[in-house]
Chains A and B, each alone.
Chain A
């Protein structure tokens, strides 16, 4: 004991004594071991981030160092393009296989330099744009480096510009690609097809079955549904910083900025300028620029010099006239400037015309109509012009802006063909974001009055109020159009009553037991619901008469896309508090109906359960409140329509009750409900509820008419 005490006393003194001899040693040893451990750990468990940040595995090489492939003069060459090719004849879909993400896999051949027998290169190895394009594909979700799993193959042989390559030899280079197989599933990108003198409208390189993404197709060369028409990228303008200019009337009504215009067409344009004076501007190449000025960035009219592409922003309509080639890079510049292109190129297939609706962004005029262009354009109302300007700019932003945008749109189009059930819709391709935001597409858009014979399914959510529940069941079962009754038993601690105790009713009655006491159970899309119409009803709503319920169902049939219910409520803007407030007084307006007694389409059950925005569903379950307000928000948001309150009924639980039954009187309850509205409005990002001043009554309600001749005589007044 004593010794140990001694030891303890000596202990602390030990270290100061070591200072002289061993301390440095121990500390160093310890830190070395620690460092070693840390280093090992780092290498073992932290590999990915280190790598991607420093590009360890992406080789840093020069384009000049790529392997050289010598093509013998007699090496095979593909057939010329097959004009009859369609996806289901020339494309091998088996390679695309089953894919849960519905996304095609694209492989890129590695870069090689091809030379002929004499060692002369076949083409420029790769252009800046094609390198950008392949980089964009490589960075996208489409890319795979596994050639055996690829569905689409992109050669690294650059054929963007036909003038920079030797046609026959390039074809031979294509033919020796490892998976060429007559060009099946190969995609070539070409922006400048043809060459002098006849300028074909599609790439002249023999390519057999390969798909061609080409700029400048005509109706005779374009294989509808197989090829993809792409824009001609405008590399010059990409370097210019051009601030966006909003739509509206501009200085020149019609502007022509192209330099290489056929003399005959130029004459026509000049004549327009002469006739309409200041509102038409026809520009040409500048002849007397001083040295050092980039002439491609200037346009002239007589001695006046204009900056290009800036001048395009001064035009409402801009001429895009064919040159030797149908596809013109000026189209991209014009769209960017928010100028509406007037496309004058007979038989030209506009870029991405398979999916883009060019009528919304351009005017197409036949070449022989050039003298009438002005009149044609004048007949377009100003509002439509502004719409077109907006649309033109949006097309540029989404699909023309960069090589990457062009590549992604091309792949998306091919992807849409292969997985048609997952294809983008017309609206997704064509509607600018602002329109997508403000528009509502009602999921039940077809005007349709469902047959009465179908009836409705009543869903009663209950916990343990068996007596009241039975009363509700008995009352509801008297409604002629009821076809099934579903009781959602939300009490896990107690079994539902014996079968024999339940009221005997004329329609099937099913009890569903839930796993957890959640309010969202009321809106679950149970398989038992066979009718489209659902009546959600609380287990204490005993005042509703059979006539009222039957009438409610009839009203729902006329408004199957709305919530049709009995208890009406209102949301108000509280100017003092600067937020929304819940109102349950008897007001002249209604914006919600409570789902304690409401008819709605069963599709909304699916939406509530699986498509409710944000965390609303969980929030409601956690707070055990406001599931009805959430449903009102959901339906109003998706349909853009108001609810329908049916009949004057305002008391539901007992005749003596005041307007706002029991629970609702509670002040804290009102505060909570207001909170719900504010919470939901912030999640939805908007206030979707619509206020209306009407309710639906039977045609002869309170009319001076014999009661017994009325279809729904028993409509309570409060």
Chain B
């Protein structure tokens, strides 16, 4: 029995031990501070009466608010709604009046005037003008422009100054908008003033130097950082001298670094630019060089910040954290570096490379404010080809433009309109009409009748609707955005063109893959003629080409809008004078927009033999015609044409396989 008692004692003991264990443990746990146990920090408390808390605004409180009319703008401050009178801006084009400047006209002034001249704006008298433009130029010390007569408190005035030498003392700017280079953030009125880039003295009027980016990704040997130096040069640091900040703190180990004197372009992946205003000049250099600008607490507003999304092309960092910035740059994923680099180049080419682009961009921004809801969407400003070339008058939806199909996940309408231009009297293009109408992709045929003779009353019956449009007997009329055009793709033809149905079919299928380019059959190539010191072009068959003839070409209808509303009048007049120039002009335009060559598709030999060449005979013997390429190159400011060495053929084109396998077999007829 002894053992029994001992056993029960053991049982009681262990039971009580367990009890103690169970009760003490929670106490122990509470005694220990919560954090090392918890891992989760002690957050904002969950109040027991959280549900009972009152709302910050009681029903009825808001409506009781005393409605008031707006207060007058406080001194100096202005915004678009309060200080600009839009009522004068109705009607097509921006109506601009430029104050004449007394005395000698400076070089910059001349460039600005020429830029305004070539823009889509119209000059009018000061009473009708929507914007009165006052050029503020580098006046000699102490001298300022007098207050003009129509000043009216500065209302609807734009004071434009490309260089920071700026004279504000003589008159109150009041309600005038100020467009000046690198304005200080503190005085800049967002949405009202316009921030311009700080341009070098000798910035070209047109065209401008192309971006220096030769390749998409940085070359492996290129240093990571370049630092803007005070005297305008750049100091590059090798990829290894990593955490070398900009305060001159690493003056002692300047071994691997190089100093570039003068205003050479930096050759690095990132360009560190201090935030003081004189350094703003470096900003454009970096953009041009494709070096990603890293702005250290800039005290100035970035150019065109109202519309340009600078986060896509530059990095605004805090100068107080040098080591972190450098570390972040080193660890930046290649994808981001790639995107930033490309964006710098796009922005440089689209808005900054010439005085003309800067001025046009400024006017476009103001135009956008006037347009309100029908202004450029942000995408148009911030992806190629840019807002100067993507006009919102065509559409405010990016999906309608040929450039953004992929970005927007949309596609062009799957058919085309044939636009046949009948200029000189001659035979009706009946065969051509039948061939084109036979295409399964053809939606309509439009005959643009530009001949002296009236059009015949009867036209052949076709599978698709045929409409005759009365033209204005000008060659440039071919590229007018006729309302009757109902599809995205246009097949431009003239009465002498000769095509087969399968050629048309194949060309259209190719165009669908490249909706922003021109797809043509017959080509020219341009070349630099050393002997004459100018551009020339030849229709001789060569290993490369850069122009497709528009007497048989497929392209997006948007180019009609650009041709008619974007090109300066002088250029269109030039095309009217010498009709062959129209091909080159259209190709110039498309190449300037896409920066890419046109595409060539196969063209049957039989056409070439059956009729005189599409290109006018004896090009060489007609100097004025030959010369139009040079005049256009001058107007554009550069040579936009790009050469291609390839032709797109059907996959089984002329392969020694059974003809029955081939989809476009009639393309191969001898």
Contact = CB atoms under 8 A, between A and B. Distances in A.
B69 interface: yes
A125 to B, nearest CB: 9
B215 A450 contact: yes
A63 B22 contact: no
A35 B15 CA distance: 10
B283 interface: no
A560 B595 CA distance: 14
Interface in B168-189: 185-186, 189
B642 interface: yes
Contacts of A497: none
Nearest to A83: B186
B275 to A, nearest CB: 8
Given A324-B68, A641-B406, A694-B509, A36 B18 contact: yes
Contacts of A705: 541
* Interface range on chain A (Cβ under 8 Å from partner): 35 or more
B186 A84 contact: yes
Interface string A129-165: 1110011011100011110000000000010110110
Nearest to A585: B661
A693 interface: yes
A48 interface: yes
Contact of A127 (B54, B506, B653): B54
Contacts of A5: none
A692 B513 contact: yes
B265 interface: no
A76 B239 CA distance: 52
B434 interface: no
A454 B186 CA distance: 46
A73 interface: no
A329 to B, nearest CB: 6
Contacts of A129: 55-56
A568 B651 contact: yes
B39 interface: yes
A323 B68 CA distance: 7
Contacts of B221: 530
Contact of A603 (B41, B49, B338, B650): B338
A364 B46 contact: no
B41 A145 contact: yes
A98 interface: yes
A432 interface: no
A304 B327 CA distance: 65
Best-buried of B71, B335, B544, B651 by chain A (most CB within 10 Å): B651
A700 interface: yes
Interface string A68-96: 00000000000000001011100001100
B409 interface: yes
B41 A88 contact: no
Interface in A14-53: 21-22, 25, 28-29, 32-33, 35-36, 39-40, 43, 47-48, 51-52
B65 interface: yes
Best-buried of A108, A379, A451, A696 by chain B (most CB within 10 Å): A696
Contacts of B70: 322, 346-347, 367
B220 interface: yes
B82 A127 contact: no
Interface string B468-490: 00000000000000000000000
B373 A363 contact: yes
Nearest to A362: B373
Nearest to A197: B66
A447 B596 contact: yes
B342 A36 contact: no
B92 interface: no
Contact of A440 (B54, B374, B409, B662): B409
B55 A379 contact: no
Interface stretch (A206-214, A271-279, A664-672, A710-718): A710-718
B529 interface: no
Contacts of B22: 39
Interface in A628-677: 639-642, 645, 648, 650
A40 B329 CA distance: 51
Contact of B40 (A52, A532, A554, A602): A52
Interface in A169-204: 191-192, 196-199
Interface of B: 4, 7-8, 10-11, 14-15, 17-18, 21-22, 25, 29, 34, 37-50, 53-57, 59-71, 73-74, 77, 79-82, 86, 185-186, 189-191, 213-217, 219-221, 275, 297, 309, 311-312, 315-321, 323-325, 327-329, 332, 334-336, 338-339, 342-343, 345-346, 372-375, 377-378, 382-384, 396-397, 406-409, 506, 509-510, 513, 523, 541-545, 594-597, 600-601, 605, 642, 644-657, 661-664
9 contacts: A32-B18, A58-B43, A135-B44, A139-B43, A224-B185, A260-B65, A435-B409, A450-B216, A711-B645
Closest 6 pairs between A and B when the two form their complex, measured CB to CB: A438-B409, A138-B44, A88-B297, A138-B43, A446-B342, A127-B56
Given A108-B44, A128-B50, 16 more contacts: A40-B25, A47-B29, A111-B45, A127-B54, A138-B43, A143-B43, A260-B63, A322-B70, A324-B65, A376-B373, A440-B406, A446-B342, A448-B214, A603-B217, A648-B654, A701-B647
